[in-house]
Amino acid sequence: MIRILLALAALVLGSSAIAAPDTIYVMRHLERDAGRDPDLNAMGRANAEMLGRWFRHERPRAIWVTSFKRTQQTAAPLAKRLKLTPTVYDATAPAAMLTAVAQAKGPVLIVGHSNTVPRIVEALGGPKAAGDLPDDDHGRIWIGRRGVWSVAELAKPQPTPVRKAP
């Protein structure tokens, strides 16, 4: 756990905001059972199905998840619906994932953990992290669009992207 925090802190402190696609979504995995690498619980599975339907206006073209079952299960219904294979990244060394995200074309989704999501958002140019997410914090989705960040709730419809006329 401390290694993850140190790696993310070094990443954030060692660089300015990393370039990113026009739209990036970052979220914590959904509700889980207890244990080292638990499955999502019933509520988490239901919310993962909801996430699969949440992306109706702007759909990710790529999804990143960690090696933990809970992140993979969070993204699974959406990935299946969009016919995408999520890319697994190392939660303890996210630099390679962030570099790949910077090269991505189109919207992307990153699913992380309570101790990684705030620092990933910050590394991508979002608001400065105030610490880890509370253990019961599920369903918030950070959205970065052309450097402007907002937070949406899974329980509410996906915000419609605002596009400027050419």
For residue 46, name the pLDDT band (cuts at 50, 70, 90): very high
pLDDT value for 13: 38
| Residue 63, C-beta contacts closer than 8 angstroms, at least 6 positions apart | 75, 78, 79, 84, 86, 87, 108, 109, 110, 111
What is residue 91's predicted lDDT score, i.e. its pLDDT?
A: 92
Report the percent of the chain where pLDDT is more than 70.
84
pLDDT at 123: 93
pLDDT band, very low/low/confident/very high, at 163 (cuts 50, 70, 90)? low
Domain 2-153 has CATH 3.40.190.290: no
Instruction: Report the pLDDT value the prediction gives residue 11, as an integer from 0 to 100.
Output: 46
Residue 74 phi/psi, 5-degree rounding, is -65, -45
Residue 15 has pLDDT above 50, yes or no: no
